[in-house]
Amino acid sequence: MTLLSVLDLAPVPQGSTPGDALRNTLDLAQHAESWGYNRYWVAEHHNMVGIASAATSVVIGYIAGGTRTIRVGAGGIMLPNHSPLVIAEQFGTLASLYPGRIDLGLGRAPGTDQRTLLALRRDPGSSDKFPQDVLELQALLGPVQPGQFLQAVPGADTNVPLWILGSSLFGAQLAAMLGLPYAFASHFAPDALMRALQVYRDNFKPSEQLTAPHAMIGVNVIAADTDEEARFLFTTPQQSFTNLFRGTRGKLQPPIADIESYWSPSEKVQASNMLGCSVVGSPQTVREGLARLIEKTGADELMVASAIYDHGARLRSYEILAEVWKELN
């Protein structure tokens, strides 16, 4: 059975504060837990006024502390921004506080722009060491070896499950080589999805963590009671992706009646391509769209992003999705 999970960037809508966004995140996580979602992930982004999850491990602790059973984790931590020891300590602490519930997804992108990299004190070449950093982190979270000097406390022997994230073939190859679960960012970069899944599955080597490949794919789902309402709500992420090309990132914008008046023809092509892995509509439309996506990809898990301006509408979208999912399974 394909699993269903939530990706939440803690979006900050226009007229709201990061505090509002984080409280909405916890509220959505609590609802997602009651609706039967498998895991709830937040992601590391920096210097973005519309995303409140920059201090990712802190947000994870907030969510885990306000829920009881749902798995909570990072989708992901941008490992080249950090020392593996610091991440091992942070997630070892989380795993010690919330045993059996913490995931650690790892990416090698910066999660920000080039100028902010300087503020992060990041070495521009640090992403080249990503495979070695993953192995170092894995060792720090594993059992202490005889004569081992450097230990993560907490962290050692917590064996926090690691995931490799990616939007290209690099992550697929690394996840396969290390025998780790793989999450593909098709919710904003769908072009290489099918090829990456094939590379991952064809080259997977079993490990202590995982005996068979487990592939998760990102998908944007905007569900509402009618197709028309869902398409209206979808204009919010359509505006956000258009703004990426304009270099005018900001807070989440309210939906608009006519998206064609907002973007140019070239912007429409670019934004629509990035949003190609999206299912938007009424319960029946969403059911049919998800069934096609699962049949096409054979995904073991869907990680659903829903950048909806109104929090009540976002809750309703995830509620509809949970109802549809029960019917599909």
pLDDT in tens, 219-269: 999 999 999 999 999 999 999 999 999 988 899 999 999 999 999 999 999
d(CA 38, CA 292): 21
Domains identified in the chain, total number = 1
Beta-carbon count within 10 A of 82 CB: 19
d(CA 238, CA 257): 12
Backbone angles phi, psi at 229, to 5 degrees: -65, -40
Q: For position 174, what pLDDT does the model report?
A: 98
Q: Show the domain range for 92.
A: 3-328
pLDDT value at 62 more than 80? yes
Which neighbouring-strand residues pair with 281?
Answer: 223
**Quick one: tokens of 30?**
């609590």
DSSP conformation letters of 28-44: HHHHHHHHT-SEEEE--
pLDDT value at 117 more than 80? no
pLDDT band at 301 (very low <50, low <70, confident <90, very high): very high
Q: Domain with 69 in it: what CATH number?
A: 3.20.20.30
pLDDT, tens digit, 9 for 90 and up, residues 68-93? 999 999 999 999 999 999 999 999 99
Q: For position 113, what pLDDT does the model report?
A: 64
d(CA 141, CA 180): 14
The type of residue at 81 is: N
SS3 92: helix
pLDDT value at 115 more than 80? no
Closest CA to 173 of 138, 130, 202: 202
